[in-house]
Amino acid sequence: MVDPEYLKFDTLSLHAGQEPDPTTGSRAVPIYQTTSYSFVDTEQAAGLFNLEQPGHIYSRISNPTVAVLEERIAALEGGVGAVCTASGMAAFHLAAATIMSAGNHVVASRNIYGGTHNMLNLTMPRFGITTTFVDPRDPEAWRSAITPETRLLFAETLGNPGIEVLDIPLIAQIAHENGLPLMVDATFTTPYLMKPIDLGADIVMHSVTKFLGGHGIALGGVVVDGGRFDWAANDKFPTLSQPYDGYHGISFADEYGHQALSMRARAEGLRDFGAAMSPTNAFHLLQGVETLPLRMKRHVENTTSVVEFLEEADAVTWVSHPSVATHPDHELAKQLLPKGAGAILSFGIAGGREAGCRFIENVQLASHLANVGDAKTLVLHPASTTHQQLSAEDLVAAGVGEDLIRLSVGLEDPEDIISDLSRALRASQKG
């Protein structure tokens, strides 16, 4: 039996979306630091504005440097296209605003990034879009939360903070049975560890800032269009299936079919909301993507070492990572994430909130900050920082105990990471 002659993942990480610059021969992706592009003539200009022919008009809508990153991430995810944005939050908003309008409803996992939770819980209701939050591990909760106004199911591939593994095939099946798309935030997994579109997801978004960029130097987000969902199969998605006056009555589903979402997200969403990625950020993020497979492999190896250490450490009461046999999603992780379940983990420290503070104050190699997915190891004690305004009871309800430490395992020598954690754990117990 013959196989498709597709370029492999590592090759695509380096090459997809770019050819040597035709004018200068530049092998690296040039930074096209420009706002706008000269038109050949009035006819070409009119054709570009009317979507009769492709090309760049203004960098809020598209830019050659950003386009390389978009095509590369789409290639790695197996999507038909991608649209980059100024941040991961902008990516979520772009996707949501492209397919939904006032009166629509979202069913979302309750274990998601706080920023996304705030947008769904507090901000989007002001614009008429409401959300029901559900336990991501409870398929009946997903089913029963769907209403006639639901237009989107949303979850993270790995949840926050319990590192819940999303059963994408199952939740996608529930979505599709109801004529709805499933969008996943795959920031923690990246396409190296998991390809959600192959598992049934319809839209994938990332904070490119994290593992894809990998170096903590540039903000960015991306929406990847899986291209398999039929937006015209029912009347739920008029922004894609009905004529749009913004381009003389174009119907994106009729004109572009499987690429309708990415075409409208750019033509309307970037044009009108304007949350575009800067070309310089795209350049920085591309440097990260080039080494994504090498870095993720090392992130996962280091995480394995750190988990083994923490499981044996006296000052640690529990470790939550899908690689741990007692994690509720251990078996699911082996099935869906055979290369590893990422480099974010949480653990409980003996002594609660005070011990957690002392631990954080005594790490010297690991960095205390509110980010994940850097090349450097990062730690955070939510009870004393991001969630400090919550009571002990509220913290438990949010799944964030006073003793919880979140760790984003970096690329340092694992012996040095463990040595640093060991020193800080000892100090934490000397209260």
Selected range binding another protein among 49-57, 205-213, 368-376, 382-390, rule: CB under 8 A: 49-57
**Per rule CB under 8 A, is residue 248 in the interface with another protein?**
yes
Please choose, from the candidates 103, 99, 204, 101, the residue with its C-alpha nearest in 3D space to the C-alpha of residue 157.
204
CB of 215 to another protein, least distance (A): 23
Half-sphere exposure of 2 (CA within 13 A, CB side): 3
> Does the protein bind another protein through residue 227 (CB under 8 A)?
yes
The count of residues interacting with another protein (CB under 8 A) is: 54
> How far apart, in whole angstroms, are the C-alpha atoms of residue 130 and residue 321?
31
Q: Cα–Cα distances in Å, from 140 out to 137, 154, 248, 353? A: 9, 15, 43, 35
Taking CA atoms, 398 is separated from 92, 114, 370, 402, in Å, by: 22, 10, 17, 11
With respect to another protein, which residue has the nearer C-beta, 16 or 134?
A: 16
Give burial (CB, 10 Å; 0-12/13-18/19+) of 154: buried
User: Applying CB under 8 A, which part among 69-77, 384-392, 395-403, 415-423 lies near another protein?
Assistant: 69-77
| CA distances (Å), origin 349, targets 141, 317, 343, 357 | 32, 6, 19, 10
Q: Does 343 bind another protein (CB under 8 A)?
A: no
Residue 17 touching another protein (CB under 8 A):
yes
Among 139, 257, 328, 352, binds another protein (CB under 8 A): 257
Is position 99 an interface residue for another protein (rule: CB under 8 A)? no
Question: Of 143, 258, 297, 330, which one interacts with another protein (CB under 8 A)?
Answer: 258
One residue of 62, 160, 187, 281 binding another protein per CB under 8 A: 62
Stretch binding another protein (CB under 8 A), from 165-173, 205-213, 259-267, 360-368:
259-267
Contact with another protein (CB under 8 A) among 48, 74, 184, 363: 74
Q: Which tokens sit at 28?
A: 């690296």
Interface with another protein (CB under 8 A), residue from 54, 126, 326, 430:
54
- CB contact at 8 A, 196 and 183: no
* CA-closest candidate to residue 111, choices 409, 402, 397, 325: 397
User: Where do contacts with another protein occur on this chain (CB under 8 A)?
Assistant: 1-2, 4-7, 15-19, 47, 50-56, 62-64, 66-68, 70-71, 74-75, 78-84, 226-228, 230, 232, 247-251, 254-259, 262, 266
